[in-house]
Amino acid sequence: MEVKIGVQHAPREIVLESGQSAEEVERAVAEALAGKSELLKLADEHGRKILVPADRVAYVEIGEPAGRKVGFGAL
C-alpha cells in the first residue's frame, strides 16, 4: 500500500510502501489528528517505523500498491 504524507514546512512529502491495510493506516491517521496520539506512527514493508508529529501533518494520501514494471517496452 503506497502512502504519501505531506508535512507542514517541509518541501518534500514522505512516500512509503506500507504492509498495513488502508483501514489500519486510516485509523492511525484519524487517531493522530484527533489528538489521541502525539505522533502519526506507520511502518513500511521493510520494518522501518515512520513517526511524524501529528500537529505537522498537512495531508495523507492512501493509494493502492504499485506493481513493478518489468521489461524494456514503452507503455
Q: How far is CA 18 from CA 29, 33, 70, 74, in A?
A: 14, 19, 21, 28
pLDDT digits (tens, 9 = 90+) for 60-74: 999 876 566 666 766
pTM of the full structure: 0.79
pLDDT (tens digit per residue) in 4-38 = 999 999 999 999 999 899 999 999 999 999 999 99
For the record, the C-alpha cell of 56 comes out as 505537522
